[in-house]
Structure 1
Amino acid sequence: MKNRLIALLVFLLIILGLFSCKHNDKLKYVFRNSKNLVPIIIYHNFDRNANKKDTSTFDINKFERNLIYLKNNGYNTIFAKDLDKPLPEKPIVITMDDGYMSNYKLAFPLLKKYDMKATIFIIGWSVGAQNTHYSLSFFNWNQAKEMVDSKLIDIESHSYDLHSEKGYSYGEGKICEKGVGKLLNETDEDYIKRVKADYKKIYNLITEHLNYEPKVFAYPY
């Protein structure tokens, strides 16, 4: 039980941003040579021959090499929500933030190929949003359900619309502070109410479309 609690605590710290660097999609080890903690690998977007200047996009060929390395070295992928359960030998959590179409088109086939699991944290408003190139698009609910039904993907919350630059939210164009910050002159009570409403919105969407209650929340910024 102690080991499981430590593992869960470390994961929560990571998704709160205390252990990770912004947009750093490198392999992140929280520990070395420890049996008590669980390593996390954090990705966002994928592409073929990814631009090195785009630090949030990871080359899909390198991603496959990551999976092969983990497989060959005896790591067992688990979902983020399973950190409070008995852990296998050499557990590891693979996560993907935001819900890009490339998660479905590029990463998911490789996870199936190597029979490995990943947790995807979606932003509610962007589910199904399309662009001229898949690297700037997001998978839809039907694709999300397909991945979840494979038992290799768990989809959790990354907020409904709390990713924003100061003064403007991406999803609904509301006046807002950066990320989950308070609005100018917003009371603590109103701030808490607004953030709770956002979480309830994405919680209800996941429950409705995927038929389960989300268990993990990845803090935006």
Structure 2
Amino acid sequence: MLRIPKWLLIGGCSLLAALILFLAVPGGIKMVAAKPESVRLPAVMYHHVLNQSDMLGDYVISPKQLDEDLRYIQERGYTPVSAAELQAYVAGEGELPERPILITFDDGYKSSFVYAYPALKKYGMKGILAVIGIHSEYYSEIDDDNVNYAHATWDELRQMFESGVFEIANHTYDMHEESSPRAGVRRKAGESKADYQKALREDIGTNQQLLEMATGKTPTVFAYPFGFLDEDARAVLDELGFTMTMGVAERVNTVTRGEPESLRELGRYNRPYGVTTQSFFDPIFAEAEREAAAK
């Protein structure tokens, strides 16, 4: 009588058990889904740039400090990216540099044209300029180009956009007020959802039209005034074609391929005067790099 080795019997039973288990599981072998590809994205929020010491503060820095910031960003190996690059990455149509960073300027001051625009060009960098329409409209109609308070004109916005240095974002037409009754794009007390969304649609839509006429391109980026959010605003922003929005929460972002929501309410670090470049950026870069290493 032929004797079958014990090891062969045990091995055969194991293979049979594995086959039964495979057949019993619908779809056979289950693959563990790969973790979505993502990048860590720090974002810096500038406002005004002035060469006047008595006006420097939380939202106004000097041209010298801006130049130091941009040089340090470059030295640390970070590459400023555009909204278009981020949107393409999320859509699965492009790649991002190893260390991306977003550089933004809110409000659309003339100082962005006078100081920020040439500084970014000097370093071969890109930025996003969020424009309050009513102010650019006003200063396009009068002869007042005082850099201390004036806003960029339509012609200046067009020049910055066509250069490829600045993308233009919508910062509302005339809702940049921090106090009540509305406070940014928040809903007024007692205002119905329909009335609220109608007001947003009219204001933000007006700015979309003006910015499109000025630059030839309808903005796809919206910057919330003061970072004030309202859930019922999102449907209007979607309707108007925005695929990227920016707030003011100070955090490093995670932008994920295939997840459009990862471009919503992006956090940004406000850049004040009086803090050295290294003291401002080092904690931000440390957080971005620590989280990137942990992925």
**Same fold flag (TM > 0.5):** yes
Separation in structure 2 between the aligned mates of residue 197 and residue 108 of structure 1, nearest angstrom: 30
Matches within 5 A, 1:1-221: 2-4=36-38, 36-51=39-54, 54-84=57-87, 85=89, 86-130=95-139, 133-166=146-179, 176-220=181-225, 221=228
Offset at 1:52?
A: 7.1
* 2:92 counterpart residue number: none
Q: TM-score, normalised by structure 2?
A: 0.57
Aligned residue pairs total: 182
Mark the CA change 1:143 to 1:163 in structure 2 (over 3 Å): closer, same or farther.
Answer: same
Structure 1: stretches of 5+ with no match in the other structure: 5-35, 168-175
Aligned 8 A contact 1:51 1:57 in 2: no
Deviating 4+ runs (over 6 angstroms): none
Offset at 1:88?
A: 1.4
Separation in structure 2 between the aligned mates of residue 110 and residue 53 of structure 1, nearest angstrom: 18
Aligned 8 A contact 1:81 1:216 in 2: no
Separation in structure 2 between the aligned mates of residue 141 and residue 2 of structure 1, nearest angstrom: 41
Aligned 8 A contact 2:132 2:170 in 1: yes
Aligned 8 A contact 2:82 2:167 in 1: yes
Offset at 1:49?
A: 4.4
Paired amino acid for 1:143: E
Aligned 8 A contact 1:158 1:219 in 2: yes
Separation in structure 2 between the aligned mates of residue 2 and residue 62 of structure 1, nearest angstrom: 37
Separation in structure 2 between the aligned mates of residue 127 and residue 203 of structure 1, nearest angstrom: 13
Offset at 1:140?
A: 0.4
Alpha carbon RMSD of aligned pairs, Å? 2.0
Q: Which has the higher helix share?
A: 2
SS in 2 for 1:201: helix
Q: TM-score, normalised by structure 1?
A: 0.75
Offset at 1:83?
A: 1.2
Separation in structure 2 between the aligned mates of residue 193 and residue 162 of structure 1, nearest angstrom: 13
Bigger Rg, which one: 2
- Higher relative contact order structure (alpha carbons within 8 Å, sequence separation ≥ 6): 2
Sequence identity (%): 30
Separation in structure 2 between the aligned mates of residue 47 and residue 53 of structure 1, nearest angstrom: 7
Separation in structure 2 between the aligned mates of residue 104 and residue 115 of structure 1, nearest angstrom: 16
Offset at 1:54?
A: 2.8
Mark the CA change 1:142 to 1:202 in structure 2 (over 3 Å): closer, same or farther.
Answer: same
Aligned 8 A contact 1:96 1:119 in 2: yes
Mark the CA change 1:3 to 1:103 in structure 2 (over 3 Å): closer, same or farther.
Answer: farther
1:76-99 C-alpha deviation (Å, 9 max, x unpaired) = 111134213221121111000000
Aligned 8 A contact 2:131 2:172 in 1: yes
* 2:4 counterpart residue number: none
Paired amino acid for 1:150: S
1:114-156 C-alpha deviation (Å, 9 max, x unpaired) = 1111100001111154457312110101111111111111111
